[in-house]
Amino acid sequence: MKNIVFLLIIFLGSTAQSFSSSYDKPFKTKTEMDLFIASTLKDMAGQMNSQMPMMMDPETRADAVFSTGKVLNYRATLVNIPSTEIDAAELNRHVLNNVNEIACKDKATRDLIDLGVTYVYLYFGNDDRFITKVVLDKYKCNF
């Protein structure tokens, strides 16, 4: 399970660093900034998808990344476990605690969260059934 979180952190960090290095001038309006963020997240999701699917560890496959506005969604499958054998609340708690512990300490990720970006992790069992959704946003980070 630690490997799941570690790869998610790599995604978080690369996303945030790519964003922060892709603009160099202040925005005139919040709408202009939000549109830029949404466009950048869409581009980054496309770049990450070119590497998918990818095994994160022997149990977890990263399937896809997609963006909607200022939300970056990661879809992962637990390849050896059906959805009926996973405690969704426990998985959610575990991932969120680890993401808070690691990702929220990263300045680039924190900066994006402060700008309103939300990271969503969607977990599915090997039966392709939804297990849980883990959300990382400014309200969950303990800075």
The sheet with strand 118-125 has its strands ordered as 54-57, 60-68, 71-78, 118-125, 130-136
| Per-residue pLDDT at 19 exceeds 80 | no
In a domain, 143, yes or no: no
86 lies in some domain: yes
CATH number at residue 65: 3.30.300.250
* Span 68-93, average pLDDT: 94
Q: Is the pLDDT assigned to residue 13 strictly greater than 80?
A: no
2 confidence band (pLDDT: 50, 70, 90):
very low
Q: What is the pTM of this model?
A: 0.80
**Structure confidence by residue, pLDDT tens digits, 98-127:** 777 767 677 777 778 888 899 899 999 999
Q: In whole numbers, what is the pLDDT of the chain averaged over residues? A: 82
* pLDDT at position 14 over 80: no
Tell me the three-class secondary structure of the chain, residue by residue. CHHHHHHHHHHHHHHHHHHHCCCCCCCCCHHHHHHHHHHHHHHHHHHHHCCCCEEEECCEEEEEEEEECCEEEEEEEECCCCHHHCCHHHHHHHHHHHHHHHHHHCHHHHHHHHCCCEEEEEEEECCCCEEEEEEECCCCCCC
Q: Is residue 141 assigned to a domain?
A: no
Summarize pLDDT for 25-74 with one digit per residue, the tens: 677 888 998 999 999 899 989 988 998 999 988 998 999 999 999 999 99
Bigger pLDDT: 95 vs 130:
130
Predicted confidence at residue 24, as pLDDT, reads: 58
Domain range holding 75?
2-136
**How many domains in the chain?**
1
